[in-house]
Structure 1
Amino acid sequence: MARVTIAQVAAAAGVSKATASRALNDHPDVGAGAVARVRAAARNLGFVPSASAVRLARGSQRTVGLLVSSLAWPWMLQVLGGVAAEAEARGFTLVLQTLSRGEKSLTAFLHQVQSNAIDGIVAIEPPGGLPALTELHERRGLPIVMIDDRVSRPRFPSVATTNERGAYEVARHLAETGARRIGVITGPPEYTFCAERDRGWRRALREHGIELRDELVLRTDMSDRRSYDATGELLARDPDLDAVLAVGDVVALAALRRLREDGVRVPDDVAVVGFDDIPAAALAVPSLTTVRQPMYAMGEVAVRLLIDLIGGAAAPAEPLVTPTELIVRESSTRH
């Protein structure tokens, strides 16, 4: 399908190309009526400004933004490390914005963007922030790259990992060690990575003749407290449980703590596996079998892609994928 041009938008709105361009870039010398007509035409035609045109209109500040919900998740610092290192290597300044104050934080960040202080954004999808990011991308042509989106597949470029394959490999590993009565502690099904990992686990276990029992699949908010409680609930529902599949390492570490406190030996009585390979996974006792999610590399790749887009490169049609890796440690290795 041919790309909609600014000339087509201008013709539909009944204005010149120059006026259409100024209207889409919020120049103050365009009347409100013309701005409304141009924006309506752009929306109806599905017009997305090219990154190179936007850069020329605004002037590059050589500044990129990183928008995240919070830095509380252990793997978030790995993302930040990759983003910061690559931005510095490419000669760009990095602006970090968390949403610790919710809507106020998002509004403050959007004000920075709209004042043309930021050339593009790397984002880990913020709760409630997708509409604003989509508006910036589709109406203003601001380059945006999403990392491992949590809820949806937005209409701008993204960097992803092999969630389903990683989950498949770790569940297959459990089955091959002899686990049969397996409990799962996962997260909300609307989170993309949870749904992908759920599919991977189920496929691997089916191939080994194991069906997950519905009463042994518990959905939580993935917090330490809730994961600790869910582990106790799994044990109450099946005293003969022999393995726990955790959607993330934070969940798995909480499970290890609960099992230890209940006198359950890991891995001799119950094996435990996680996902992410946060630094604490290797230091746990026993050390945690997990799936290494390449968060640092994902940050690097996201910045490279973003800077290419700022320079006018075409957006890739599919997410850029960095592969996971199964890391086998003590928590699943029965003797």
Structure 2
Amino acid sequence: MRVTIADVARRAGVSKATVSRVLNGKADVDADTAQRIREVIAETGYVPSSRAVGLARGRTRTVGMLVPSLTWPWIGDVLQGVVDVLEADGYGVLLYTCTRGEESLRRFAEQVSGSAFDGLLVIEPENTLDYIAELHRKGLPVVLIDDRGHHPEFPSVATTNRDGGAAAARHLAATGRHRPAVVTGLAHFGCVRDRTEGFAEAAAAEGLLLDPQLVVEGDFTEESGRAAVGKLIASGKPFDAVFAHNDLTASGVLRALHEAGRRVPEDVAVIGFDDIQLAAHTEPALTTVRQPMREMGEAAAGLLLSHLEGVPVSPAPFILPTTLVVRGSSTPQ
């Protein structure tokens, strides 16, 4: 059976509180008593709970992470970056999702009230930013990952969505395209506005004709990409390129173009956004704007650890650059 702190205390002839003080390096225990306790620990093989030791010191050595869902295609990359940094510094991670809406958030709030973690990393579930900001104002260290253009009052990590959209437009111009279509994400996301504006500004500078009727709102799903192509073709407006606001949408665009008899890239070039694993395995392989998701997770974890160690952290977003990754879906005409 597992040896407990009570077993150690009984064999050493002291209280559990005295054992706890020795474990936590307190100097108020008689030297002989402390030595006897250490000998009993060695003899019994007692391993103290890291959480119990941390709580006694006022820290759990645990970070909470709140995300909307684990089904988002890039969430694994972010998590890996977070875990790599936290585990290297001796921290654990408690992961919470909001897949059950209010019920999930209520359970998460109980963990906050119970001080289950020292700080919080967040990929914002819908309509939770005000609540997260309030937690920060009450003293919980928080770092937001992928700020979606909200620029909160607390530290965050973001990427260059506007520059990414601009890079897509310049690439299409360089490959001889003239009439691009755009399939956006949901319009209320700041990242969607940034990608749209960056693309439009660069398209205008490059002399591309961006017809408002060739801009279709999607919802970041493959199905919305397929539906958008149907709308674009039904409009009767000619287009020779599609910039999709994420790779899942772009994969739906590729499939729908193929079904409609449009060749990619000969008739229509296609560009996505994110560079998830799927992008390299579509047919043809997808040109996309890479978001450095793993690096964003690493940066966010690093900012939070600095915060926990008392290092001042700027509320200004920590920005990591996007990169255009050129593949077969957008080769020159």
Q: Provide closer, same or farther for how the CA distance between residues 236 and 58 of structure 1 changes in structure 2, counting only shifts above 3 A.
A: farther
| Structure 1 equivalent of residue 310 of structure 2 | 312
* 2:242 alignment partner, one of 231, 241, 244: 244
* Partner residue in 2 for 1:122: 121
Specify every segment of 5 or more residues in structure 2 that has no aligned partner in the other structure, as ranges. 1-53
Question: How far apart are the structure 2 equivalents of 1:312 and 1:126?
Answer: 28
Show the counterpart of 1:66: 65
Q: 1:207 aligns with which of 205, 208, 214?
A: 205
**Aligned 8 A contact 2:179 2:209 in 1:** no
Gaps of 5+ in 1: 1-54
CA RMSD, Structure 1 to Structure 2 (Å):
1.7
Per the TM alignment, residue 150 of structure 1 is displaced from its structure 2 partner at its CA by 2.8
Counterpart position of 1:277: 275
2:86 is the counterpart of 1:84: no
Residues 161 and 191 of structure 2 are in contact (CA less than 8 Å); yes or no, is this contact kept in structure 1? yes
Counterpart of 1:109 in structure 2 is 108
Distance in structure 1 (CA, Å) of the matches to 2:271 and 2:149 = 24
Larger radius of gyration: 2
Partner residue in 2 for 1:291: 289
Residue 242 of structure 2 aligns to a residue in which SS? strand
Q: Is the 8 A contact 1:151 1:190 kept in 2?
A: no
Q: 1:119 to 1:91 in 2, by over 3 A?
A: same
Greater alpha carbon shift after TM alignment, 294-303 vs 145-154: 145-154
The 3-state SS of whatever aligns with 2:274 is coil
When structure 1 is superposed on structure 2, of 307-316 and 324-333 the one drifting more is: 307-316
Of the three residues 299, 311, 322, the one matched with 1:324 is: 322
Q: What are the Cα deviations for residues 156-175 of structure 1, in whole angstroms up to 9, with x where unaligned?
A: 11001111111111110001
The aligned counterpart of 2:174 is 176
The structural deviation recorded for 1:207 is 0.6
Match of 1:11 in 2: none
Summarize the Cα distance change of 1:224–1:168 in structure 2 as closer, same or farther, 3 Å threshold: same
Query: Scaled by the length of structure 2, what TM-score is found?
Result: 0.81
CA distance in 1, matches of 2:149, 2:108: 21
SS of match in other structure, 1:204: helix
- Structure-2 residue corresponding to 1:228: 226
Identify the residue that residue 136 of structure 1 maps to in structure 2: 135
- CA deviation digits over 1:114-162, x for unaligned, max 9? 21111111101111212221111102x1000001123622211100111
Report the TM-score, using the length of structure 1 for normalisation.
0.80
Letter of the structure 2 residue corresponding to residue 74 of structure 1: P
What is the Cα deviation at residue 238 of structure 1?
A: 3.5
Q: 1: distance between equivalents of 2:224 and 2:243? A: 15
**Deviation digits for residues 243-266 of structure 1 (CA, Å, limit 9, x no counterpart):** 001011111011001011111100
The list of structure 1 runs, each at least 4 consecutive aligned residues, that deviate by more than 4 angstroms after superposition, is 55-58
% identical aligned pairs: 47
**Residues 153 and 315 of structure 2 are in contact (CA less than 8 Å); yes or no, is this contact kept in structure 1?**
no
Give, in whole Å, the separation in 2 of the partners of 1:317 and 1:76.
23
Shift of 1:239: 5.2
Aligned 8 A contact 1:273 1:331 in 2 = yes
